[in-house]
Amino acid sequence: MSGAMNTTKTMERASTVLKGKCKETAREMKRRMSEAGCPQYETENVTLTAIHGCKDDVVFVGLNGVGFYFLRGQEVAMPKPLAEILRNTGNI
């Protein structure tokens, strides 16, 4: 029999720091969008699929100098301007 094998369905690859940034993004979405010049925005439900071989499970999106972090594999209510950036870059 070969060595130990990970049989979990998914393995988390995001660091604790990046997970914290994802939570911070969700908690401060209105303020960040306002800083990015979009105080009024609509949201849409988006799921960022996990990519095999990807270095981590976090996606960064920048809008007008403001950073946003989202965890792959979870559905999130994302502002439409951010979803559009992710579509244009092939992340959705």
For the stretch 28-48, pLDDT in tens is 999 999 999 999 999 999 988
The yes-or-no verdict on residue 25 having pLDDT over 50 is yes
pLDDT band for position 55 (cuts 50, 70, 90): low
CB 63 within 8 Å of CB 38: yes
- Residue 11 phi/psi, 5-degree rounding, is -110, 130
Say how far apart CA 74 and CA 77 lie, in whole Å. Answer: 10
- Residue 62 phi/psi, 5-degree rounding, is -110, 135
Nearest to 21 by CA among 53, 77, 59: 59
Residue 92, pLDDT score? 79
